[in-house]
Amino acid sequence: MKRLVTAILIAGSAASVWADGLKSLESFMRNTQAGKAEFTQSVTSPPKAGQESRTKVSSGSFEFQRPGKFKFNYTKPFEQLIVADGKTLWLYDVDLNQVTERAQAQALGSTPAAILTSATDLKTLQNDFALSNQPDSEGLEWVLANPKQKGGQLKTVRIGFTPEGQLAALDIEDSFGQRSLMQFKNLQAQASLPASTFRFTAPKGADVLKQ
């Protein structure tokens, strides 16, 4: 009997730390049709033989509008721009003065960007991802998203929300063991974004590669 009571208490305790991350994700997708935030991204590669893993940190701003429009503007340590207008995805490397242009539907697929900007509800998102609540950690509620399509570069994504339901982090692991943690701050939900936000014109003299 004592063991049974202990097991019930443990189960109850475990349930209490599995917060409603899925509810926060659903609310975010339903109620936040546009927004902007600042971000810091830490990319950690798996260690090579005889070496320690290395982490590269970058930062910038992020803007989005559902469905399918977004812009990542990296400002440090190098300038880079990623823009999607719903049909086309552009990646502009300022140092190289080079633009890569791809059809957005082919470029995104089961990616973290699709979680944030493409799907409009959980049911749609579940066509591409298996979703489950994760225990609270680091003061955040977490949702684990596993892509249903096998063999891709993306292994897992965790989406973190504050207790108030505000988007706070994306924790991404790819099939090569590389981890990318993107942390958001100063999120302005329902921000009014002009249509020009998601337009891109290649700078004069830039090399344009179409894939």
The answer to whether the beta carbons of residues 34 and 193 sit under 8 Å apart is yes
The span from the CA of 138 to the CA of 127, in Å, is: 29
pLDDT above 50 (res 4): no
Which of 101-105, 132-136, 158-162, 194-198 is least confident? 101-105
The span from the CA of 115 to the CA of 172, in Å, is: 12
The span from the CA of 151 to the CA of 27, in Å, is: 30
Average pLDDT over residues 14-29: 74
Average pLDDT over residues 154-167: 92
Task: Give 153's DSSP letter.
Answer: S
Tell me, what's the pLDDT at 109? 56
Tell me, what's the pLDDT at 74? 96
Tell me, what's the pLDDT at 6? 34
Tell me, what's the pLDDT at 81? 95
pTM: predicted TM-score of the whole model, two decimal places: 0.82
Task: Map out the domains of the chain with their CATH numbers.
Answer: 19-47+54-210 (2.50.20.10)
The span from the CA of 59 to the CA of 26, in Å, is: 27
Tell me, what's the pLDDT at 161? 95
Q: Name the residue with tokens 């957005």.
A: 104
pLDDT above 80 (res 185): yes
Tell me, what's the pLDDT at 20? 84
